[in-house]
Amino acid sequence: MSDFKVTELAADLDFSALPYWDVVIIGAGPAGLAASLTTAHRGLTTLVVEAKDKPGGQPQFLYADKRIVDIPGFPDGVTGQEISERTYRQAVDALVQFRFNEELFAIEDTNQVENDDPLKRVVTSKGSYLARKVIIACGLLHYPRQLPVLDRLGSRNVHYKIPKIGDYEGRRVAVVGGGDSALDAALMVLGRRGEVDLLVREAMPVGKADSLARMKAAGGRLRTSSEIGAAEFAGEDIALSLTGDERLVVSLVIVQIGFLSAKETFERLQLRLNDDGSITIDPYFETSRRGLFAVGDVHGDIKLIAVAWAEGIQAAIHAFKEITSPYWLNEKRLRDQKIAMIGEKIAKFAMEQKKQKRIERPAS
């Protein structure tokens, strides 16, 4: 179906008086922002709910100053902060509405119907919103894993995302972690004339070998099989007690040891999940619950900004089509759904057969 029904949102529209939203999007990262642009440009009232205090998702919070070089259209690269600010500005100009510092609690079914469309109630930490469609774009990994031994200090010099350049330029920094994010953080500090001690719990870092080589060539110190046993203030610095009774005094600590999974949130939403805890979707990015779509890292294997944008746009267009044409008229979609259901039944039957054979197999 072409977009011949597209209308423009009125600039003077009173969003506070809306009885419901056409689309509510969970998450203001790359996928959520791209989806919001697409729905708003097609005349759908769109609300984005974000748990953090600003938009941008991982590019903004994990590597705001890092120059990203694999996004088409930016031959010299672009920082996470810049790409986040640009996309957010586009969304605001398109009259997308935002609610920050609101955490998703639940998405409830209701008895209210709008043009044959059952409304959903999105419940957050600050209120609730009725919506015809919901797009989940909050990311598969929600919050950084933290180190209690450092948190007990209550220090502003302990960071779980890459701090601003002025916070670490020319200073001695301990980076905790052995993955790509930790190596990237170490390289950024070294690139600003800082000193780096990379603390890796394992025998060797698991990040890219070329990043490790660059870090060492730039003067970074690698400490493997090393963990922080205790931490205390040493004047304005932080003194770390490491494995082997070694003491390390630094100006600040950057912790990059992975993230807590959003699997519990997805289970609470009663969504069908894949084995890795990500959300199962159909070819239209719709989840096992009708009217709920999922895009970006919440389901995908390829975690790139360009992919998140593409998925956000596609899911938004499918949501738009469902809103502007009756669900039962979309024959191709119904056919694809039947095929998917048959495939699921076959897979389920095969799994049960395998289990039965294991039970019947005589013990050796």
174 and 104 fall within a common domain: no
pLDDT at 313: 96
Is 73 a member of any domain? yes
Is 54 a member of any domain? yes
pLDDT at 61 over 50: yes
200 and 283 fall within a common domain: no
Among the candidates 232, 257, 282, a domain finishes at 257
Instruction: Let me know: does 112 contact 121? Beta carbons within 8 Å.
Output: no
Is 313 a member of any domain? yes
Section 192-221 average pLDDT: 94
43 and 161 fall within a common domain: no
pLDDT at 141: 59
pLDDT at 2 over 80: no
DSSP 222-271: EE-S--EEEEEEETTEEEEEETTTEEEEESEEEE---EEESHHHHHHTT-
133 and 264 fall within a common domain: yes
Identify the burial level of 155 via C-beta atoms within 10 angstroms of its C-beta, where 0-12 means exposed, 13-18 middle and 19 or more buried. Answer: middle
pLDDT at 1: 42
pLDDT at 334: 55
Is 121 a member of any domain? yes
126 and 151 fall within a common domain: no
Among the candidates 202, 228, 257, a domain finishes at 257
269 and 330 fall within a common domain: yes
Is 31 a member of any domain? yes
Is 353 a member of any domain? no
Indicate the average pLDDT of the chain.
Answer: 87
* 232-284 tens-digit pLDDT: 999 999 999 999 889 999 999 999 998 776 777 888 899 998 887 889 999 99
Is 212 a member of any domain? yes
SS3 content of the chain, % helix, strand, coil (to 5): 35, 25, 40
Least trusted range by pLDDT, from 163-167, 248-252, 257-261, 338-342: 338-342
137 and 267 fall within a common domain: yes
Instruction: Let me know: does 252 contact 171? Beta carbons within 8 Å.
Output: yes
pLDDT at 136: 96
Q: How many domains are contained in the chain? A: 2
Instruction: Let me know: does 45 contact 9? Beta carbons within 8 Å.
Output: yes
Instruction: Let me know: does 271 contact 278? Beta carbons within 8 Å.
Output: no
Pairing assessment for the beta strands 117-124 and 104-114 based on DSSP bridges: antiparallel
* 286-295 tens-digit pLDDT: 999 999 999 9
Among the candidates 208, 234, 257, a domain finishes at 257
Copy the structure tokens of residue 245.
Answer: 């009774």
- Measured distance CA(31)–CA(201) in Å, rounded: 33
* 67-126 tens-digit pLDDT: 888 888 999 989 989 999 999 999 999 999 999 989 899 999 999 998 888 999 999 989
307 and 287 fall within a common domain: yes
103 and 123 fall within a common domain: yes
- Measured distance CA(7)–CA(272) in Å, rounded: 34
60 and 159 fall within a common domain: no
**Banded model confidence at residue 213, pLDDT cuts 50, 70, 90:** very high
Domain that holds residue 231: 146-257
Residue 152: CATH number of its domain: 3.50.50.60
Least trusted range by pLDDT, from 206-215, 244-253, 293-302, 355-364: 355-364
pLDDT at 338 over 70: no
**Banded model confidence at residue 166, pLDDT cuts 50, 70, 90:** confident
- Measured distance CA(319)–CA(292) in Å, rounded: 9
Is 111 a member of any domain? yes
138 and 266 fall within a common domain: yes
pLDDT at 362: 60
Nearest-5° Cα angle at 91, 28 to 110 = 60
- Measured distance CA(46)–CA(13) in Å, rounded: 12
**Banded model confidence at residue 219, pLDDT cuts 50, 70, 90:** very high
- Measured distance CA(227)–CA(360) in Å, rounded: 48
138 and 271 fall within a common domain: yes
